[in-house]
A and B are shown apart, each in its own frame.
Chain A
Amino acid sequence: MFGLNKIIPVEPNINFLGLRRNFLIFSILAILISIGLLSIKGLNLGIDFKGGTLIEVSTKNTSIGELREILSSSYSDVSLQEFGNENIILIRLQNKSNQESIETVNSVKNLIQDKVVEFRRSEFVGPTISSELLFRGFQAVSFALIAILIYIWLRFEWQFGFGAVVALTHDVLFTLGLLSILNVEFSLATIAAILTIAGYSINDTVVIFDRVRENLRKYKKLELVDLFNLSVNNTLSRTIMTSLTTLLALVSLFTFGGEVIRPFALTMIIGVIIGTYSSVFIAVPTLLIFKFRPQDEDD
């Protein structure tokens, strides 16, 4: 019989909370570095948010160098990049006025017509649209954080909501910082990934908080630190299991899902790892700020 779950003891007893200071320092450093990176280096904004023109072509017997030569004589701001394999090339052009950009697409297509087997896609995002999309992305993420906070508030006590939002903000900033270091393209799909990470991370946190609440009722005499530790341990195998299955699916998406979806999958993988970490090491310790039992104050 299989049943490898016996590897993880039914009632593990790992002192997670004892390590909280180390992890807190690690996370604070990570967040500070992330903020620094975001303000200095920034994100690798794709055309969704920066605006511009993107053309994906498949070629045969034509190197990226040849195409670059043809195009750079007409356009100074053109950039070319292999996409997945050497026969598929992405051509990017900076934004101009709407009308000009549309004409650019046409003339680029005409210039390289005979070197290209297929124009796989062409995208153009005008300057007004890109700033709107960026604004809406921000709106979506902020509203999601607020809505989740309100939900946790309603279902738990407000202290839990605070812990959850601290963890969430941590996840979002940390993930953005890593995206900046890794130079992953930041697109509409990345916003979707970040919102999903928020949902996922909070899901993890909620499961542990649920247990904290249950244990608070069950063990009235237990020290809070021990009680939190117990709760994390109770839910540990679930936390690990769900993260692993989600990661399995995401790694499959990253490896086989195609070039276009890869940045999304990568962002999600980073986010799931950070989200799982933060549920245990950030969200729960944050609860220690609060006194959950009136009698604690009497002691």
Chain B
Amino acid sequence: MKNYPIWKSFTAVSLVLLGIIFAIPSIIYDENSENWFLKNKINLGLDLQGGSYLLLEVQLDVLYKEELDNFVDSVRLISRGQAVKIEKINIQENEVVVFFSNKEKIKDIRDSFFQMYRGVTLQINNNKLSIKLNDEYRKIIQDSAIKQSLEIVRKRIDESGTKEPLIQRSGKKRILLQLPGVKDPERIKDLLGKTAKLTFHIVDNDNVSALQNNLAPFGKIIVPDMYNENTKYLLDKRAVVGGENLVDAKGSFDQTEGHAVSFRFDTEGAQKFGKVTTNNIGKNLAVVLDGVVITAPRINSAITGGSGIITGNFNAQEASDLAVLLRAGALPAPLEIVEERSVGAGLGADSIAAGQIAAIIGMVLVCIFMILIYGTFGALANVSLIVNLFIIISLLGTIGATLTLPGIAGIVLTIGMAVDANVLIFERIKEESLKETKVYQIVKNGFDRAMSTILDANITTLIAAVLLFAFGSGPIRGFSITLSLGVIASMFTALMLTNFLVYMYLSFANKKELKL
């Protein structure tokens, strides 16, 4: 013991102390603790604490199609200004092809169009102008759509009262949502399932034949009623004002109309709204939400105050949900749920309990086995094994890693694999004891010779774990984290702590010969 370096004893002892101290917050596990120290506890994954995981995909195709429609409208407007007649318009997947009756002004039309939409690919072929949605243009649409969607989703989730949600972009066109504690995600799914695009349009009551033929003239659209699909309205395509000008919306109750949503416009919206209502007294104003008319009341007088109410056949919940949607704003494109995993708190608690039992029994079995096989040395290895478990827990807590069900499996697995380094060392010591007689020399050789094998053997496991982290998703990553931490911790405990314990034992027991 005399020659045992102080730094080694110090490292071994502090390894144990730090491991135990920093495992305390996770073992006590006070969920709401504000204490800076107790906060360093393990985060439980959704599969253990209960909650919902949703993966949403932004329906970009809808946006691309919308943009192509915009192209068509703009080309029509420009060519009308230039007094050029359009013969035919072909809308393809990525491209709009416009056939003009003559090719004289086609270059001017192209140039004016380019002023409005920079970045699109324009091509003239005789009397044909093709407008192409190229990759860069699509990427711009995509990026801004995801950014906006993220923001809107965040607002809606916040409004829904979910605590500590995790909302992030995932890949090119997806949004990942983790909602801890949400048992029933149906309401959230409802909230996210609506685009909530609100617009106000003047109703055209004069053109009756258009409605009869179900064919909207240029500049008009036909929109069905929300409650009765067969009731249709002919509306100005251009919205008078839209949801983006709202500053507030609340569920309210009106004596005569029942549950309603009251809203308030910003200055710009109030001005537009005031002007339109002043100029269109006697006409109807349709309130359109996601392509259906909620209501289309008659404008009896100019509304200049910038506020109003939307009535429909709402109940209280519907009115307040609509208000939430309007406050949060419209999604640029619909969201589709492509993956959902929800775990109730009951299953989560069961999983934790089962995992704990499996870990404890696994631990006891391995410890008994080690003592049966290696006697005192086995007992020393067991001390290392237990400290190893503490270190894994404290590392998980301090780096703020998330523990999942596969993560627990990883811990139980490492209990079995962690003794490997000790076994390698003991087997070496056993071999060395046949050649050497000096106890300390035997032990030293045993540790030294086992070292490179331990490194080689564990690095391969780490490679597998790292790749699992890179390619795995949620819960599986939890497994690769605990497995990696367990493997690394087991190397340290074997080489530092077991080493220290073996020397301590040999020195206190004053062993003159070593039979392992």
Contact = CB atoms under 8 A, between A and B. Distances in A.
B193 to A, nearest CB: 8
Interface residues of B, number: 79
Contacts of A247: 416
Contact of B471 (A140, A198, A241, A249): A140
B464 A148 contact: yes
B437 to A, nearest CB: 15
Contacts of B357: 256-257
A120 B345 CA distance: 8
Interface string A192-229: 10011011101110110011000000000000000000
B341 A121 contact: yes
B490 to A, nearest CB: 11
Contacts of A143: 467, 471
Interface stretch (A32-40, A71-79, A129-137): A129-137
Interface in A1-56: 1-5, 10-11, 56
Contacts of A192: 406, 468, 472, 476, 479-480
Given A133-B473, A241-B423, A10 B375 contact: no
Given A189-B476, A252-B362, A196 B464 contact: yes
Contacts of A70: none
B341 A123 contact: yes
B415 A249 contact: yes
Contacts of B468: 140, 144, 192, 195-196
A123 B459 CA distance: 35
Contacts of B339: 124-126, 129
B342 interface: yes
Interface stretch (B89-97, B137-145, B347-355): B347-355
Nearest to B479: A192
B388 interface: no
A204 B375 CA distance: 24
A36 to B, nearest CB: 27
A155 B424 CA distance: 19
A293 to B, nearest CB: 22
B457 interface: yes
Contacts of A139: 471
Interface residues of A, number: 78
B189 interface: yes
B375 A2 contact: yes
Nearest to A265: B409
24 contacts: A2-B375, A99-B337, A105-B340, A122-B341, A123-B340, A126-B337, A129-B55, A148-B464, A196-B413, A196-B483, A199-B461, A199-B465, A203-B458, A203-B460, A210-B453, A246-B413, A246-B416, A248-B369, A249-B412, A250-B416, A251-B365, A252-B359, A253-B412, A258-B354
Interface of A: 1-5, 10-11, 56, 58, 98-99, 102, 105-106, 118-126, 128-129, 133, 136-137, 139-140, 143-144, 147-148, 151-152, 155, 188-189, 191-192, 195-196, 198-200, 202-204, 206-207, 210-211, 234-235, 237-238, 241-242, 244-253, 255-258, 260-261, 264-265, 268
Interface of B: 55, 57, 184, 186, 189, 336-344, 346-347, 350-351, 354-355, 357-359, 361-363, 365-366, 369-376, 378, 405-406, 408-409, 412-413, 415-417, 419-420, 423-424, 427, 430-431, 434, 452-453, 456-465, 467-468, 470-473, 475-476, 479-480, 483, 515-516
